[in-house]
Amino acid sequence: MPRYRLTIEYDGTGLVGWQRQANGLAVQEILETAVERFCGEAARVHGAGRTDAGVHAFGQVAHLDLTRDATPEEILGALNYHVRPAAIAVVAVARAAPEFDARRSAIGRAYLYRIVNRRAPLALDRNRVWHVAPPLDAEAMHAAARLLLGKHDFTSFRDSLCQAKSPVKTLDRLDVVRVGDEIQVIAEARSFLHHQVRNMVGTLKLVGAGKWTAADVAAALAARDRRRGGPTAPAEGLYLVRVEY
């Protein structure tokens, strides 16, 4: 049974996230329906990360087993045909080793969070960024972000429903940069807790607005209490950029 690796991008607007659920349409369900229409049988598409409702992806990775051989080019064309009209694109397909697992084989994940920081409303980026009208200090946000780097207990930035066995994670990168009106937060780690990136961004936004200091962020981290962390940033600003193997 040949195994294939898929690289996928999608706009998560209006979807319940990556994972198939009973309460709405998911990216996984759309892709699995496309596979069934292509090859005439059900097949599971296993993703590297379970992005939440409204979250987007430039570089989600998944693996797929088929009962017959097909060329990567054939699969690419067929899946992109059958996912229409959803805002999902399979951008690459490659044969994978039988032991390759999109989630378990991953050694790193990179996320981008986009904040448009201007008074004017959004015309082109609705549902794709967090619009914050009051001015934010990106340099102060970046300085506070440095305090979260490394191995920590991230309970204060973990969703209460998170099912991870341990709240301890190693954050390899957390940069905040301003590009014109846009503030970009780049986070990299082997793996993340549920809502960890969005909770860190919501906390750093308080610093940018002058409501918190870097010391407040350090205190929140040390508290190991979700009630001490900042708010959860909206889903629409978050993108899964890359999965490393």
Q: Residue 120, exposed/middle/buried by CB under 10 A (0-12, 13-18, 19+)?
A: exposed
Cα separation, 104 vs 61, whole angstroms: 12
3-96 carries CATH number 3.30.70.580: yes
Cα separation, 81 vs 89, whole angstroms: 9
Strand partners, 170: 151
User: Looking at residues 110-115, what average pLDDT do you find?
Assistant: 98
Residue 3 has pLDDT above 90, yes or no: yes
Helix or strand or coil: residue 76? Answer: helix
Q: Among the listed ranges 17-21, 81-85, 159-163, 224-228, which one has the minimum average pLDDT value?
A: 159-163
pLDDT at residue 223 in the model: 97
User: Looking at residues 202-227, what average pLDDT do you find?
Assistant: 98
Residue 1 has pLDDT above 90, yes or no: no
The CATH number assigned to the domain with range 108-244 reads 3.30.70.660
Q: With cut-offs at 50, 70 and 90, classify the pLDDT of residue 160.
A: confident
User: Looking at residues 87-94, what average pLDDT do you find?
Assistant: 98
Q: With cut-offs at 50, 70 and 90, classify the pLDDT of residue 163.
A: confident
Which percentage of the chain shows pLDDT scores above 70?
100
Considering the entire predicted model, what is its pTM?
0.95
Mean residue pLDDT of the chain comes to: 97
Q: What angle do CA 243, 224, 211 make, to 5 degrees?
A: 90
- pLDDT tens-place string over residues 18-52: 999 989 999 999 999 999 999 998 999 999 999 99
User: Looking at residues 15-20, what average pLDDT do you find?
Assistant: 96
Q: Which residues are catalytic?
A: 52
pLDDT at residue 24 in the model: 94
User: Looking at residues 93-100, what average pLDDT do you find?
Assistant: 97
Enumerate the domain spans of the chain: 3-96, 108-244
Q: Residue 175, exposed/middle/buried by CB under 10 A (0-12, 13-18, 19+)?
A: middle
The H or E element containing residue 75 is helix 72-82
Query: Matching CATH topology for 3-96 and 108-244?
Result: yes
pLDDT at residue 54 in the model: 97
108 CA to centre of own chain: 12
